[in-house]
Amino acid sequence: MPKILIVDDEIDIAELISDVLTDEGMETVIKRNGKEAVEIALKESFDLIILDIMMPEMNGTEVCNQIRDKVKCPIIFVTAKNQLLDKLLGFEIGADDYITKPFTIEELVARVKAHIRRENRMETNSQNIICIGEIKINKESFEVYKNDTPVDLSTREFELLAYLMSNAGIALSKDQIFDAVWGSNYGEIGTVAVHIKSIRKKLDPEEKYIKTIWGLGYKFVKVVE
């Protein structure tokens, strides 16, 4: 469930936005001034922040300035200002979107949903890419790179490498590897060593990444020295 921080000193507007987003299946938190917004934004995790610019004690641009380096979620500025310079300033200090009052609640909800979808896609893409030292794999496109140079692996070699890199830092037994990559009813466990040897030849001839754990199996290092 997406968690949204709404910061607006006009409580009627804040509650309207909250009610509509709650109906859309989102969790909302309302704060009425900039200082409270900074405190909670730095303490809790949010998927998106809706931030009014004109507020008492601390305005929205000051809030954005204070949290932007630490808070990575999208920030949508909401304000009565509609001057071009105000918009440019908002984007310059880290806003992701800008909507001016008066606005339709449907437009705001559509923008919130669009930003959350974009963040979800980016998170999915980042989970599909693993990079350790010189080696990078993309589990979605089945691509492998060493020093940004493509390396050709067979499907099974790729699946084995992906399993090792997804569990980097963990000592894995040959049985664990075989069951995860081949399935317990397919082939022989000796094929693990054969494929490890092939991957090393193509990617890791110095055995800097894939370490043999004698009497157990293998480990892909988590940090390359």
Q: Are strands 75-79 and 48-52 parallel, antiparallel or unpaired?
A: parallel
HSE-CB for 81 with a 13 A CA cutoff:
18
Of 200 and 190, the structure prediction assigns the larger pLDDT to 200
Q: How confident is the model at residue 187 (pLDDT cuts 50, 70, 90)?
A: low
Estimate the crossing angle of helix 174-181 against helix 191-203, to 10 degrees: 90
Q: How confident is the model at residue 11 (pLDDT cuts 50, 70, 90)?
A: very high
What is the value of pTM for the model shown? Answer: 0.57
Distance between CA atoms of residues 184 and 131, nearest Å: 29
Mean pLDDT (whole number) for 174-187: 81
Q: Cis bond leading into 102, ω under 30°? A: yes
Instruction: Tell me the per-residue pLDDT of 45-69, one tens digit each, with 9 for 90 and over.
Output: 999 999 998 887 888 889 998 998 8
Rounded to whole angstroms, the maximal C-alpha distance in the chain is 70
Q: Show Cβ contacts of residue 58 under 8 Å, excluding neighbours closer than 6 positions.
A: 33, 34, 35, 37, 38
Of 186 and 75, the structure prediction assigns the larger pLDDT to 75
**Domain 3-127 identical in fold to domain 133-220:** no
- Indicate whether 17 pLDDT > 90: yes
**Considering the domain 133-220 in this protein, what is its CATH number?**
1.10.10.10
Tell me what the pLDDT averaged over the chain comes to: 87
List the chain domain ranges. Answer: 3-127, 133-220
What was the pLDDT predicted at 112? 93
Q: How confident is the model at residue 70 (pLDDT cuts 50, 70, 90)?
A: confident
What was the pLDDT predicted at 72? 85
Pick the CATH number of 3-127 from 3.40.30.10, 1.10.1530.10, 3.50.50.60, 3.40.50.2300: 3.40.50.2300
Of 79 and 21, the structure prediction assigns the larger pLDDT to 21
Please name every residue paired with 212 in a beta bridge, in sequence order, or none if there are none: 218
